[in-house]
Structure formats: structure tokens, C-alpha cells
Amino acid sequence: MHPDKKQTIINAAMELFADKGFEGTSIREMAAKAGVNIAMVNYYFGSKEKLFEAMVEEKSTYFRERLTEVLNDASKNELQKIDTIIEDYVNRITSQHKYHRVIHQELMLQQREALHENIIAVFAKNKEVLKKIIDQGMKKKVFRKVDPELTIVTLFGTMHQALLSKSMCKFLIAKDANFDPYTDEVFKKRLINHIKQVMHAHLSNK
């Protein structure tokens, strides 16, 4: 009938999971938000937990592409590749911050740990590509000798810290009450520039 009804449920669920957590979100709430009968969730997905897994799976495929082409782009040097990834990733998080919040919450908890592997697998590709670029840069002596893994941690950690908690973001940036970091282009630029500056200083060997 409605072939996108599953999708509607997944989208409603994700919003609620991001704002209230998995156990904080009830099936009745999701069904109401999606405009469907509460029985439809179990009809389509089998259970609340399987819906959650389906949501992670469905949203994560969105991020699995690209990035490898950056690695093999001969027109860019290592530092330019890092810059591209920074821009790319900030745009991803701002456009899909609810999904990233869900993922991040889930990884901090010690529940449904079987899911952690799936989530980590999405990051794996990104980490791999970044690691290769950093290693390459160090080999060519255009990068200074750094800790590759923790450099990646700093890269992602800065973005997540800046973008995944609105309260913390507002506090640190001290904007007015209706400031929204996910739509504010000025802030996005500011964040991108900062991370680039940090990474240039940290990596560059001049």
C-alpha cells in the first residue's frame, strides 16, 4: 500500500531516539508521530529492538560511500585531503545530527552491545582512509611524526563535542537562545576553519 510506510516509521523513530534515547521512547509515541497504528511497528519490524537495528542499518548505508575517492585523488596533497574530509564530515553531521546523536548515545551505553560492531563498521572505512593519508604524509615527510589513531580521535572528537550536545554548544559559543548550530552557516564555517587550523599545525612539517 504505502511502500514508504516503513520509512516513515524509521524516520519518526530516529527523531525520538535521538531526543529521548531508546528506552525513553515508547512504541505508542513513535506510531503517533509516524501516523500509524501501534501494531504496525511489530508487524513490519518484529520488535522495538529490531526496528532500532533496521534504523541504524538503513541510515548507515547513507554514509558508506565516497571518501575512498578522496584517498586516490592525485590532484590533492595529503593536507588537502584532510581538509576535504573535514569539510565533508562537518556537513554530514550537521545534516544528519539526529542520527549521529543516536549512534553516539548507543556507543556509550552497555546495552545491545551486539549492535556496536555494526556501528563501528561504518566508522571503520573512514578511519582506514584517514589512517592511510596520515601514514602516507608521514612517510613523505610532509607530515610530522604523530599518533595516527589519536589524531583521528581529535578530528572526530572535536566535531562531536561541538555538534552533538546543543546545551554544551550554546554554552561554549554563548549565542542567543534560539541559536541552532546545525543550521547556522557562520558557525559551521568557524568550526571547519578551526579544525583545519588545528590539523595543519599538528600535522604540517614546515
Partner DNA sequence: ATTTAAATCAAACGTTTGTTTAATTTAAAC
Partner DNA sequence: GTTTAAATTAAACAAACGTTTGATTTAAAT
Interface residues with a copy of itself (CB under 8 A)? Answer: 19-24, 101, 104-105, 107-111, 113, 116, 119-120, 123-124, 127, 144, 146-147, 149-154, 156-162, 164-168, 171-174, 190-191, 193-195, 197-198, 201-202
Report the partner that residue 177 touches, choosing among DNA, a copy of itself, none (CB closer than 5 to 8 A by kind).
none
Q: What residues line the site for DNA (CB under 7 A)?
A: 1-2, 5, 23, 25-29, 36-43, 46-49
* Least spacing, CB of residue 3 vs a copy of itself, in Å: 31
Q: Which is nearer to a copy of itself, 5 or 192 (CB)?
A: 192
* Least spacing, CB of residue 186 vs a copy of itself, in Å: 13
Residue 204, phi then psi, degrees to nearest 5: -65, 140
Report the partner that residue 43 touches, choosing among a copy of itself, DNA, none (CB closer than 5 to 8 A by kind).
DNA
**DSSP 8-state secondary structure symbol assigned to residue 130:** H
* SS3 of 30-86: HHHHHCCCCHHHHHHHCCHHHHHHHHHHHHHHHHCCCCHHHHCCCCCCHHHHHHHHH
* Least spacing, CB of residue 153 vs DNA, in Å: 34
Report the partner that residue 135 touches, choosing among DNA, a copy of itself, none (CB closer than 5 to 8 A by kind).
none
CA gap 89, 86 in Å, rounded? 5
Burial of 123 (0-12, 13-18, 19+ CB in 10 A): middle
CA gap 190, 180 in Å, rounded? 14
Report the partner that residue 109 touches, choosing among DNA, a copy of itself, none (CB closer than 5 to 8 A by kind).
a copy of itself
Question: CA–CA distance from 182 to each of 26, 94, 98, 196 (Å)?
Answer: 26, 5, 10, 19
Q: Which is nearer to a copy of itself, 149 or 180 (CB)?
A: 149
Report the partner that residue 139 touches, choosing among a copy of itself, DNA, none (CB closer than 5 to 8 A by kind).
none
The type of residue at 111 is Q
Report the partner that residue 15 touches, choosing among DNA, a copy of itself, none (CB closer than 5 to 8 A by kind).
none
* Least spacing, CB of residue 102 vs a copy of itself, in Å: 9
Q: Which is nearer to DNA, 34 or 195 (CB)?
A: 34
Kindly give the residue spans of alpha helices, DSSP state H, lying in the chain: 5-20, 27-34, 39-45, 48-60, 68-71, 78-95, 97-108, 114-139, 148-163, 166-173, 185-203
